[in-house]
Amino acid sequence: MVEMELNKIVIDEKRHDQLIVLKEKGGERLLPIVIGLPEASAIKLKISGFTPPRPLTHDLLYSAIENLEAKIDRIIIDKLEENTFHAKIVLKTESGKTKMVDARPSDSIALAVRAHVSIFVEDDVVKQSESFNQEK
């Protein structure tokens, strides 16, 4: 697995899809992921330090996880199928159990920036994405 970090958010409100770019930590590889405007906005708002007067969806989910006495341990982007990325949110319960929840990468990353946890990508996914982007 490759540890990556959020490198760039490209928001164009005239388009339906937005772009986030993950960069290999300590490396050069990039992983662009197309996401929706609401998710891109949620990530950008949190990174910019904006605190809404009421919890937004990702803030609510993060709070619910913590109130259920669990912690987000890490995010894993584990598949690329038919040009769609798949992710898992790895949770640790207070009793030490690990639970994995299927999620979209955009929602996972929005939670990762709230929980300040690492984002990992399966090496095969990075390689698949590189070869797909080279074909374009």
Q: What is the pLDDT of residues 110-133, one digit of tens each?
A: 999 999 999 999 999 999 988 666
Q: What is the pLDDT of residues 25-80, one digit of tens each?
A: 999 999 999 999 899 999 999 999 998 999 999 999 999 999 999 999 999 999 99
Pairing of strands 118-121, 70-81: parallel
Q: What is the pLDDT of residues 62-72, one digit of tens each?
A: 999 999 999 99
Distance between CA 130 and CA 78 in Å, rounded?
A: 15
Main-chain phi, psi angles of 118, to 5 degrees: -75, 150
Task: List, in sequence order, every beta strand (DSSP E) within the chain.
Answer: 2-10, 17-24, 30-36, 70-81, 84-93, 98-103, 118-121
- The pTM (predicted TM-score) of the whole model is 0.91
> By the 8 A CB rule, do 77 and 10 touch?
no
